[in-house]
Chain A
Amino acid sequence: MIIDQRIRKKYARIKLPLSGRLEGVGYLGGMDISNSEKAQERPVDANDLAPDFVEEIASHKGGENIRLCFTCGTCSAICPMAEVDERYDPRRIIRMAVLGMREEVLSSDFIWLCSDCYSCHEHCPQNVKINALITVIKNIAAKEGHLPSSLKEGIKIIKKQGRMTEISEFENRQRAKYDLEDLTETVPGVSEVIEKCKTLEKVGGEDK
């Protein structure tokens, strides 16, 4: 069934996943997951859904409250990221997850746009703990090879130096000027944790 473009337009603005009804799958057609024309035309096939995705999320620490969401949209209204980037919409992510759109969620670029500000966390009337929930989704995505390369590189740097920023002779010369003690150039204990937790192995970033 082709979705009425006028209805789509109307609802696209308020980002409700209600703008179309597809045969057999109910109210999924309006889930414009990438804002591309192609995605708008592609119907969601119930056979592609993973109904146990919600269980998978709930089984991780931080994801337990996903079922409490009653889609009020407070998170999306308070979210600073949603205000500046239409790709990001926490309520939509939760709806997609609950509906079992596992692949679409995990391979999306938008899950990485959560700035972790906890605005949704503080305002959610259902205590869904959305930050933690999105982090669980990111963790699952990372283990399936979707960790953005910049974040992967960051972990490699931390593994090497024990910190995200480099401390060299230069920094320590600066510190000496102000009578501050030297910082160690590497922190082996951090590298050891990353090694023992098999971090890079888990996210497909293991050094060759």
Chain B
Amino acid sequence: MNKQALFLGCTVSGRALNYEMSSRKVAEKCGIELVDIADFGCCGYPVANADHDTYVTMAARNLALAEKEGCDVVALCSACLGSLAKVRKSLNEDTEEKDKVNKILADQGLEFKGTARVRHFMHVIYEDVGPERLKELFTVDVSSLKVAPHYGCHYMKPHEIFEGLDDPVAPHTLDDLISATGAEAVDYAYKLRCCGGGVLAVDENAPINLVHHKLKDVKAVGADIIALVCPFCAVMYDEYQSTVEDKKEEEFGIPVLYLPQLLGLAMGFDWKKDLLINKNAVKAKKLLQEKGLLDQGGDQ
């Protein structure tokens, strides 16, 4: 198996140390070796709306860097994932464009060949470890938690680029991973609803309404937490939750965990020191205390 290069992208690098740290802990426990490539930069996604050529070249640059190290790519951010996977497929099917991109990359001593596979960290956990083997690594009973999975969009769509890793309209992998911990993965009407983060820079109202719908729904089904796998979804549901509460004059207080933070809890990692759950915007401490999940963590 190829080595896995961890692609942090912009959002995780700048504002999701909790996601990065918990993912590294979970990877280590699962025996997945993650390689860091210092030259990785923006995946290109924020430029896609403005200029196709730049977007494609920026994405291909990162892929070429991974290829040079003989690595596949593991993304934590679903937007990065979608961006890199899409460009990989697109260039592999278009020699002319590939040559054009490689002309620019040649100046950096790079060449995009299209060999590095691109997956989300959760795809890797699901495919290479799997729920059954994962169960052997869980030592803490988290079965009292009701968890609302949030897939986000680019984790499984468009289906063409993900080689059947999950179903685009009836995804199950995150539910399966949550269930493997013993926690209950709850179904809810707005489960597949987009977080709206993609338009936040242009318009705040629409995303706030989208987030509001989901929070209402999650509350209605009585979930304790939302578990997600993209730092931008976390911006919307976690960091923006208080804004939505203010604007809609409705309280939610629903903690939002990155799925690796939940997996990490079940693996017995310290909620604070290892998983940085204290850095999540909506405070989860009280809930975790009530569920008896801070006992082994050395909490003060």
Tell me how far the C-beta of B15 lies from the nearest C-beta in chain A, rounded to whole angstroms. Answer: 6
| Chain A interface bracket (under 10, 10 to 19, 20 to 34, 35 or more) | 35 or more
Q: Name which residue of chain A comes closest to B11, CB basis.
A: A165
Q: What size tier do the contact residues of chain B reach?
A: 35 or more
Q: CB-CB < 8 A to B157: which residues of A? A: 117-119, 121-122
Q: Whose C-beta in chain B lies nearest to the C-beta of A166?
A: B14
**With an 8 A cutoff between CB atoms, is B46 at the interface?**
yes
Stretch at the interface among A18-26, A36-44, A48-56, A174-182: A174-182
Q: Which residues of A contact B196 (CB under 8 A)?
A: 80-81, 84, 115
Cα-based distance from A207 to B48 in the complex (angstroms): 20
Residues of A within 8 A of B158 (CB): 118, 121-122, 131
- A167-188 interface bits toward B, Cβ cutoff 8 Å, 1 = contact, 0 = none: 1000100110010110110010
A residues less than 8 Å from B209 (CB atoms): 84-85
Q: Which of B180-224 contact A (CB under 8 A)?
A: 192-194, 196-199, 201-203, 205-207, 209-210, 213
* A125 at the B interface (CB under 8 A): no
Take A85-B203, A121-B157 as given contacts and tell me if A193 and B54 are in contact as well, using a CB distance cutoff of 8 Å.
Answer: yes
Contact B193 A192 (CB under 8 A): no
> What secondary structure prevails in chain A residues at the interface with B?
helix
Determine if B20 and A180 form an interchain contact, defined as CB atoms under 8 angstroms apart: yes
What mask results when residues 69 to 93 of chain A are scored 1 for a CB within 8 Å of chain B, else 0? 0000000000011001100100000
Query: Which B residues fall within an 8 A CB radius of A?
Result: 8-11, 13-15, 17, 20-21, 24, 36, 38-42, 46-54, 57-58, 61, 90, 94, 97, 104, 107-108, 110, 153-154, 157-159, 168-169, 192-194, 196-199, 201-203, 205-207, 209-210, 213, 276
